[in-house]
Amino acid sequence: MEELKKEFNSQYGESTEKDRLFFSPGRVNLIGEHTDYNGGYVFPCALSYGTYLIARPNGKNSIRFATTNFDYNSEVSLDQISKKHGDEWINYPLGVINQLIKKGLEPTGLDLLYSGNIPNGAGLSSSASIELVTAIAFNNIFELGIGMQDLVKLSQNAENEFVGVNCGIMDQFAVGMGEKDHAIFLNCDTLDYELVPFRLKGLKLVISNTNKRRGLADSKYNERRAECDKAVEILSQKRSIRNLSELSYSEFIDMQDVITDKIIKKRAKHVISENQRVLDAIKELKNNNLAMFGELMNASHESLRYDYEVTGDELDAMVDEARKVEGVLGSRMTGAGFGGCTVTLIKEEAIDNFKEAVAKGYEKKTGLKPDFYVADIGDGTKEITDNE
């Protein structure tokens, strides 16, 4: 933080105005994949990695954006805030500021310096982290009094409407509402949620980046959404439903024969069985049965591999190598798929051996070098005060 403050003063100069410091985490989803846009259950947690933001009034008629992560910086006059800047990173905070203006924000000039330690391209939701850290900063500085759930929703709207990415609510919700040593059981249809204690006594989460570019993710994402919509349409011949997650797994088994297309049936099976796995995983966690929680992570990956078909050779190789290591309780892909990351629940003493063994086996199979990140479960978005 001291280094960041030095960088801020180097960028913008010294001032008698008070600096304010904010933090917003990245997130990883522990189980419940490709269920969010089907109105289902997810179980993410906030991470100790995240985005820091220093903000200070500048007395100008503009907002100045800078970051330690990219070369692109910008000064945007207050009457130009609604304009998009190509594909640049500042569109994420600009989108949030525009959403806040709709809620009554009358911004004045600010200097902003962002600094993230979320591994680039790892799929740990750096975009939602930037959005929420901007939202909490403007909310607090301008004393808007907007609650965190509303900041979460407007950050999602910013990404949908301003940036142009049709993301679900999970990323922003986990980033904004996370709590140290807890994961979030979230119903993406109703936004009902429960903070579930997840204390990793002697265990760690290891996020393994395949370093495979996720070229197929966007097109296949749209394809899977369409397949799920088709499944809803067919199943509604027997019972009217808005989304797949309205059906329990036993109800789906009774109704599944109405779907004659094998592909559509497999897609529906994944979503509905994954919802059940989330429920089962939380039950096992509350009973402190982390071994069974790990088994459900494994089962989730198998469903994503064979029924939803969104893993790919690299993710499958990473998971297969991980499961060979003694001390691993469970391992699965996390995120959109076709590259990106896996998340592994592992005994702490096995981490060094895990990194060495998985890197060797994965590189032999794929020719790619992986990266590993050991993560703790941290707090959600907040302002950092002098006594923290």
DSSP β-bridge partners for residue 375: 205
Amino acid at 33: E
Amino acid at 1: M
Tokens of 133: 């850290």
171 is catalytic: yes
| DSSP SS3 for 136 | helix
CB 46 within 8 A of CB 27: yes
Burial of residue 241 (number of CB atoms within 10 Å: 0-12, 13-18, 19+):
middle
DSSP β-bridge partners for residue 328: 346
Tokens of 285: 């966690």
Burial of residue 155 (number of CB atoms within 10 Å: 0-12, 13-18, 19+):
buried
Tokens of 255: 């109704």
36, 71, 150, 171: which one is catalytic? 171
CB 326 within 8 A of CB 333: no
Helix H or strand E encompassing 187: strand 182-187
Helix H or strand E encompassing 77: strand 74-77
Question: Using CA atoms, how far apart are residues 152 and 150, in angstroms rounded to an integer?
Answer: 5
Helix H or strand E encompassing 7: helix 2-12
Q: Taking CA 118 as the corner, what is the angle to CA 113 and CA 119, rounded to the nearest 5 degrees?
A: 125
Q: How many CB atoms lie within 10 A of CB 285?
A: 21
CB 153 within 8 A of CB 99: no
Residue holding tokens 């809620």?
103
Residue holding tokens 């051996």?
353
CB 43 within 8 A of CB 284: no
- Residues assigned a catalytic role: 171
